[in-house]
Amino acid sequence: MPVTEISNYHSVLEVRHLRKAYSKVVAVDGVSFAVRRGEIVGLLGPNGAGKTTTISMVLGVLEPTAGTVTIDGIDISAARSAALARTNFAASYAPLPGNLTVYQNLKVFGMLYDVPGLATRIEELLQEFDLKKFEHTRAGVLSSGEQSRLSLAKAMLNLPTLLLLDEPTASLDPSVAQDLRLRIRRFAIQGHCGVLWTSHNMFEVEQVCDRVLMLSHGRILLEGNPTTLPMEHGKKNLEELFIALAREPLSLSGATP
């Protein structure tokens, strides 16, 4: 489901020559890419390829060894708070505080993001994500699907221009995962934000992403449309291409990781 005329939209994320080294180990090695408003970009690669390290640098959690990250035109190294105010994040491995209720979680994070008209915004999200009946329920007792809906509601609280999603539907049943994918696509296609999405579920990536970046050993080895890129490299589908990337990266594009 590609977004049409996406080239007319400006970049909400620009990563230029990003590098992260730990002593003699290089986790990310000269990565450059952009995410445009209304676009969902998949950041793919086997474990250890540098995906989470890249996202951590975009979020300002890790300081790059070299390179720049610009969010909505703001250099994160020069104005971190202003850049991150335009960003939000959700991941299956980062649940919200379980001792707080659904409403309390949204209120606390809304205050942290200084969301205007917070009570109204929370009510909108409770309705949109079918959480109204759980607003006074502690997050820790919600089902995995309900917790994922809450995490996504939190991630959209501040109407971010950049949304980072790290395995957002991992461990969810297919019905719940499909529901969340549709909600995220709707949010992006309405022009609210650009999305950087990591996943090991290639079916999901083919369904939701407009473009994919495939990493190997900290470098972007391949880039393109997830439905046509595999055929360009003699593979039947994205999963087969991913397996080839993990096992024999040198066979793809003649690149040297």
Number of domains present in the structure of the chain: 2
In a domain, 131, yes or no: yes
Q: What is the pLDDT of residue 79?
A: 94
Residue 194 carries which side chain, given as an amino acid letter?
G
Secondary structure of 112-129 as H, E, C letters: HCCCCCHHHHHHHHHHHC
Final residue of a structural domain among 140, 159, 178 = 159
Sheet holding 162-166, edge to edge: 87-91, 162-166, 194-198, 40-44, 211-216, 219-224
Tell me what the mean pLDDT of segment 89-118 comes to.
Answer: 94
Residues 76 and 178 in one domain: yes
Q: Which amino acid is at 120?
A: T
> Does residue 257 lie in a domain region?
no
φ/ψ of residue 31, rounded to 5:
-80, 130
Give the pLDDT mean for 84-89: 94
Tell which of 159, 178, 201 closes a domain.
Answer: 159
Range in 101-110, 199-208, 242-251 the model is least confident about:
242-251
The share of the chain scoring above pLDDT 90, in percent, equals 72
Q: Is the pLDDT of residue 114 over 60?
A: yes
7 has a pLDDT exceeding 60: no
pLDDT digits (tens, 9 = 90+) for 175-232: 888 888 888 888 888 877 999 999 898 999 999 999 999 999 999 999 999 999 999 9
pLDDT at position 2 over 50: no
For the chain, what is the mean pLDDT? 89
Please indicate whether residue 167 or residue 35 has the higher confidence score (pLDDT). Answer: 35
Residue 126 lies in a domain: yes
252 vs 68, which has greater pLDDT? 68
What is the helix (H) or strand (E) element at residue 93, kind and residue range? none
Q: For 60-73, what is the mean pLDDT?
A: 95
> Final residue of a domain: which of 134, 159, 184?
159
What predicted TM-score, i.e. pTM, was given to this entire model? 0.88
> Nearest to residue 15, comparing CAs of 196, 253, 251?
196
* C-alpha–C-alpha distance, residues 89 and 76, integer Å: 16
The answer to whether 15 and 67 have CB atoms below 8 angstroms apart is yes
Checking if the pLDDT of 8 tops 50, the result is: no
Does 31 have pLDDT greater than 60? yes
Report the CATH number that the domain containing residue 69 is assigned in CATH: 3.40.50.300
Q: Domain of residue 47: give its range.
A: 6-86+161-251
- Which residues, in sequence order, are CB contacts of 7 under 8 Å at separation 6+? 36
Q: Are residues 155 and 113 in the same domain?
A: yes
Contact 139, 98 (CB under 8 A): yes
- Provide the b/e sequence for 141-158 (b: ≥16 CB within 10 Å): ebeebbbbbbbbbbbbbb
